[in-house]
Amino acid sequence: MSRSKKWSVALAGECMVTRPFAMHDEPEFLSVLEKLRSSDVTYAHVETNFGHFGEVDAPSRGDQIGSYFLTDPQVAHDLRWAGVDIASLANNHSFDFGAKGLLSTIRHCDAAQIAHAGTGQDLEEAREPGYLETRNGRVALVSTSSGNKSHEWASLPKATLPGRPGVNSLRPITRFVVDEDAAAKLRDIGGKLGILRETGMNVEGSSGLLMKAGEGEFSLAMPSDQSTTGSNIFKVADRFDVTTSSDRRDLAGNLRAVEEARIMADLVLVAHHCSISEGGRGDRPPTFMRDFAHAAIDAGADIFVGHGWHKTLGIEIYRGKPIFYGVGNFFAQSEFVRRVPFDAYESWNHDTDRLPTLTPAAHPLHPGLTAGNRTWWSSAVINLVLEDGQVREIELHPVELGREVSKEAPLRRSVGGGDRPLTDGRPLTATGEDAEQILQRYQRLSADFGTTVVIEDGIGRIKI
């Protein structure tokens, strides 16, 4: 049965938010908040953990060039004050501070009255939709993540064994497609190194590498993969390519959650945090993400929201429903994380023998902060209207986070007095050339999906 309600929805991007902000009252900031508060429902992606230092576990990961996010729980209340009603929590930082950090985030979102989905005490809880009751009807959110480490995946209980707290995963299977000549060379090299694995080989220490491989596919048993299901599968064809598909069990489980949401709610959002790419992070979503977006809408989703690359990507209208493959950053405040663990200093090659003298002001400690990243410091508040189960209009209201939207990205709003000033990282209304750059990017990338973005008076509009 088609839905007959009319909905106004606001979408905000990735909130790497680490500082309270409810005291700010610049007109350019309040105008952004008004675009969140004026809708029937406002969604954001929370890419941090909420918790006090004494209520979380030790950092759960080691060698990774990424931030470790932990934010004062007051900021959850600030997000609610800003207008955020419902948030996705599944991402590659959900387990930064272990199960306690993940569960404290849930508690503090509950305390701030932000509905949420994507993480939980076990897989069933992490996968189930989050529900929000509004005057206009019931809203559901399914949140999933691709790119987490295996210990971050939520699991199911079995007999007396409890399930593992974690994220609702959508694990990708990556295949490296090579031609006959390259395959022969790889097999030869793998054989000489003793790391070639093909179906039927009885080699100790790599029994799981080909569990997801098809007929004629092979793998190279890298040392770190020898007790896993493998991270490289080579497929022989007449071309070179990198292809991705979803783990069939994860895909089926997530689509069951979408189907539940369709039956139980009046408006269904699906959020996919994807930190996986088929090579470098370009301007096109990976194949498995696009396939999942279509499958989610086929199963009953009204809006699909993608994020994970910290950049805006194109917009597709599929069966009358909007797919936003990349909503970009809405807050970018990783520089202000209060306490940085040992692992981050080590990963960024600081001298950990001098650990007591190192502080969160050391640089580098966080990715994405250098000049040349024109997409890190900008995005848009997306306002859309759905009626009778179809999108009727979409507006893109550009925001900048404290730097000019250009390749050089010079500072507009700095914090601190060091030789390398920090960036405020809050969303303010973008105008002039900044707005043009943001909207022209949406215009260019959406055209690849057959979507026309018209730029009028500093706003992007998609006419349906």
pLDDT per residue of the chain (464 residues) written in tens, 0 to 9: 446 689 999 999 999 999 999 999 999 999 999 999 999 999 999 999 999 999 998 998 887 788 999 999 999 999 999 999 999 999 999 999 999 999 999 999 999 999 999 999 999 999 999 999 999 999 999 999 999 999 999 999 999 999 999 999 999 999 999 999 999 999 999 999 988 988 877 666 555 777 888 889 999 988 777 667 767 899 999 999 999 999 999 999 999 999 999 999 999 999 999 999 998 899 999 999 999 999 999 999 999 999 999 999 999 999 999 999 999 999 999 999 999 999 999 999 999 999 999 999 999 999 988 666 789 999 999 999 999 999 999 999 999 999 999 988 999 999 999 888 999 999 999 999 999 999 999 999 999 999 999 999 999 999 88
**Angstrom distance (rounded) from CA 403 to CA 385:** 30
**Angstrom distance (rounded) from CA 146 to CA 92:** 8
Largest CA distance in the chain: 68
**Angstrom distance (rounded) from CA 66 to CA 421:** 20
**Angstrom distance (rounded) from CA 422 to CA 411:** 9
Output the CA torsion sign for 293, 296, 300, 306.
negative
- Say if residues 105 and 94 touch (Cβ distance below 8 Å): yes
- Say if residues 334 and 67 touch (Cβ distance below 8 Å): yes
Task: Write out the DSSP string of 294-313.
Answer: HHHHHHT-SEEEEESSSSB-
Q: Minimal CA–CA distance to 6: which of 302, 324, 306? A: 302
Number of neighbours of residue 410 by Cβ within 10 angstroms: 8
The whole-number pLDDT of residue 310 equals 96
**Angstrom distance (rounded) from CA 99 to CA 17:** 20
The whole-number pLDDT of residue 205 equals 56
The whole-number pLDDT of residue 356 equals 96
- Please name each of the domains of the chain with its CATH number: 6-156+267-463 (3.60.21.10), 180-236 (no CATH)
For the record, the structure tokens of 296 come out as 């989610």
Q: Minimal CA–CA distance to 273: which of 337, 212, 328? A: 328
For the record, the structure tokens of 458 come out as 């500093």
- Residues in Cβ contact with 440 at an 8 Å cutoff, skipping those fewer than 6 apart: 455
SS3 50: strand
How many CA atoms does the CB half-sphere of 169 hold within 13 Å?
25
What percent of the residues of the chain are helix, what percent strand, and what percent coil, each to the nearest 5?
25, 30, 45
85 φ, ψ to 5°? -100, -35
- Say if residues 253 and 260 touch (Cβ distance below 8 Å): no
The whole-number pLDDT of residue 1 equals 42
424 φ, ψ to 5°? -50, -50
Number of neighbours of residue 311 by Cβ within 10 angstroms: 24
**Cα radius of gyration (the chain):** 22
| Residues in a beta bridge with 395 | 383, 461
What is the C-alpha end-to-end distance of the chain, expressed in Å? 22
Q: Minimal CA–CA distance to 267: which of 37, 76, 25, 41? A: 41
The whole-number pLDDT of residue 372 equals 60
pTM of the model: 0.96
- Spell 449-461 as b/e; 16+ CB within 10 A means b: bebebebeebebb
| Residues in a beta bridge with 273 | 145, 307
Q: Minimal CA–CA distance to 170: which of 96, 227, 90? A: 90
- Spell 123-134 as b/e; 16+ CB within 10 A means b: bbbbbbbbebeb
Does residue 159 come out as left (phi exceeding 0), alpha (psi in the -120 to 50 range) or beta?
Answer: left
- For the chain, helix (H) and strand (E) counts, in that order, are 9, 25
Enclosing H/E stretch for 424: none
For the record, the structure tokens of 420 come out as 């390398």
- Helical H runs in 59-179? 74-82, 98-111, 123-127
- Say if residues 119 and 128 touch (Cβ distance below 8 Å): no
